[in-house]
Amino acid sequence: MSNNTYDAIIVGAGHNGLVAAIHLASKGWKVAVVEGADEPGGSVKTREVTLPGFRHDLFATNLSLFAGSPFFAAYKDKLIAHGLGLVTAEDCFASAFADDTWLGVSKDAAVTAKRIAQVSPRDAERWRAMLAEFASDAPHLFALLGVPMPSWAAARVVWNMSRAKGISWIGDLLRLLLSSPREFLDAQFESEKLKAMMAVWGMHLDFAPDVAGGALFPYLESMADQSFGMAFGRGGADTIISAMVACLKGVGGELLLGRAVETIEQADGRASSVRLAGGERLTAKRAVIANLDPRLVFGKLVAKDERRAAFDAKVARFRSGPGTMMIHLALSGLPDWKAGAELQRFAYVHLAPGYQVMSTAYADAMSGLLPREPVLVVGQPTAIDPSRAPTGKHVLWVQVRVLPSSIRGDAAGTIAARHWDEAKEPYADRVVALIERYAPGLSDKVLGRAVMSPLDLERENPNLIGGDSLSGSHHLDQNFLFRPVFGWSRYATPVKGLYMVGASTWPGGGLNAGSGFMLAKMLAGAP
């Protein structure tokens, strides 16, 4: 066998590509992961982008989905042996409000319920009941999210659900899957603050309060964080990447960095090799797995074929979600939250005080406008893991949700720039000013700042088209059986031997390790 011949070649060293490679290599396949960038990780990277000694997660930071994934359960011991370290946030997320109050979820359910009771005793009781229901419902829900869609395994999960929970419960689940955040939360709770605290999780994807199909994530994230806490990487989110790279090499897999793939070649209608920039060819005997947005695979890497025209047209229409901006701050101290010093303990502080703010920001972004008041996820990782900054210092991870990929105007009328390279610093100033409304004096604590616009996100990771950090809208027409294309949601493509994984495929965005592990198990034919 030539040194350039492999059983499987994985294009893209994001976490799902590494997951697939590890499992296949563990089952005896000769595997190579080829990555155009000089470092692996995709959207999971940690760098000192402000000042030396301050480690910032560039994009993803919350590792809860990874820590709860079937892949982690299967490879936990090996990953820990290769250096993976996790820390758990006991105080998970909170929302600060314009009246200088806050509401948040801590892992201690009694503490959370006591906070909710202060705004609504009835809601506190409903929260406790929902949490009790989640304890019995969660195994079924996560089982459904952990099988290919569609599949006999999915059918068995639904059958087991009906046996264990009853047809009425299946109906309630379907209603949840189809509901908007507002519809679901209004039916459950009376406090506007509690509803805002939960609804903002929809904005982590592209679900404004009134977008159908957006109720599931606020429900799952709220209940899961309440039940298990939030997981973060010790020293940075890249702990999972460095551990997976070491694990891959330990089972005989190869990682080729700085080796951009120019073409996925075919022989007799089957994906047979990849040609790299510079002309080198790597042969794949059994599979080529693209951990890429399908628009990159079939728009750039695979030759056009009239027999595939209908599929290619659907892929070309695959729709990005709104853009995202990342602002990384090196600080002399944590923000002084007006609502109370207790907020300094939380992993996330959301600044999205109600349905109206979220809906307006979303409408602005989808119209091409810079939102007057964006939705902010203010991450305080050094409150959980002090090792990411020099002693006594901190980093702030600010994610600006739902921005336009291309700027047509400014809802506030103060930023004239229409290109992100010119608009990003003035808009970051707006974001910092918004945080200061809730935490006065923040600017005086800033030691260093790095701003990444939606355009910068795409430059760093070409999968994030338009700065969409989730590689494709998760609205109902692009989720479940429709992700990325109806009829091709099980990772195969019309090109034999060519498969796709990643956030553009089921079960979608987030560090869930789902698509890579499910495909690898299907190909290896073993658990």
Specify the CATH number for the domain of residue 258.
3.50.50.60
Nearest residue to 328 via CA among 83, 15, 48? 48
Per-residue model confidence (pLDDT) at position 2: 53
The answer to whether residues 302 and 247 belong to one domain is yes
The answer to whether residues 432 and 330 belong to one domain is yes
Tokens of 148: 């290919």
The answer to whether residues 201 and 300 belong to one domain is no
Asked if pLDDT for residue 394 goes beyond 50, the answer is yes
- CB of 269 within 8 A of CB of 259? no
Mean pLDDT value across residues 455-470:
97
At residue 84, φ and ψ (nearest 5 deg) are -65, 130
The answer to whether residues 362 and 412 belong to one domain is yes
Residue-wise pLDDT tens digits, 395-451? 999 999 999 999 999 999 999 999 999 999 999 999 999 999 999 999 999 999 999
The answer to whether residues 314 and 366 belong to one domain is no
Residue-wise pLDDT tens digits, 163-198? 999 999 999 999 999 999 999 999 999 999 999 999
Domain end call among 223, 251, 284: 223
Which stretches of 29-124 are assigned E, i.e. beta strand?
A: 31-34, 46-47, 56-57, 86-89, 91-96, 102-106
Per-residue model confidence (pLDDT) at position 74: 97
Residue-wise pLDDT tens digits, 104-134? 999 999 999 999 999 999 999 999 999 999 9
In a domain, 230, yes or no: no
The answer to whether residues 290 and 423 belong to one domain is no
Q: How many distinct structural domains can be found in the chain? A: 3
Cα separations in angstroms, 204 against 350, 405, 517: 11, 16, 24
DSSP H or E stretch at residue 129: helix 121-145
Instruction: Specify the pTM.
Output: 0.96
The answer to whether residues 300 and 397 belong to one domain is no
At residue 474, φ and ψ (nearest 5 deg) are -105, 15
In degrees to the nearest 10, what's the CA dihedral of 248, 251, 257, 261? Answer: -100
In a domain, 229, yes or no: no
Cα separations in angstroms, 347 against 58, 467, 522: 16, 24, 36
In a domain, 63, yes or no: yes
Asked if pLDDT for residue 156 goes beyond 90, the answer is yes
The answer to whether residues 75 and 126 belong to one domain is no
The answer to whether residues 409 and 442 belong to one domain is yes
Nearest residue to 200 via CA among 347, 346, 64, 402? 402
Nearest residue to 516 via CA among 77, 70, 84, 139? 70
DSSP H or E stretch at residue 131: helix 121-145
* Cα(277)–Cα(36) distance, integer angstroms: 9
The answer to whether residues 126 and 214 belong to one domain is yes
Per-residue model confidence (pLDDT) at position 99: 97
In a domain, 110, yes or no: no
Mean pLDDT value across residues 305-312:
96
Residue-wise pLDDT tens digits, 257-279? 999 999 999 999 999 999 999 99
- Spatial neighbors of 388 by CB under 8 A, at least 6 apart, are 54, 55, 56, 235, 236, 381, 382, 395
The answer to whether residues 439 and 323 belong to one domain is yes
In a domain, 103, yes or no: no
Nearest residue to 270 via CA among 491, 484, 487, 494? 494
Which stretches of 412-505 are assigned E, i.e. beta strand?
A: 446-452, 498-500
* Cα(315)–Cα(166) distance, integer angstroms: 38
Asked if pLDDT for residue 1 goes beyond 70, the answer is no
In a domain, 107, yes or no: no
In a domain, 34, yes or no: yes
* Cα(496)–Cα(272) distance, integer angstroms: 9
Q: Which domain holds residue 446?
A: 319-460
Mean pLDDT value across residues 322-340:
98
Q: Which residues pair with 231 in a beta bridge?
A: 88
The answer to whether residues 78 and 174 belong to one domain is no
Residue with tokens 């002084």: 336
Burial class (CB in 10 A: 0-12, 13-18, 19+), 429: middle
In a domain, 263, yes or no: yes
At residue 140, φ and ψ (nearest 5 deg) are -70, -40
Asked if pLDDT for residue 3 goes beyond 90, the answer is no
Antiparallel, parallel or unpaired: β 56-57 and 86-89: unpaired
Mean pLDDT value across residues 248-253:
97
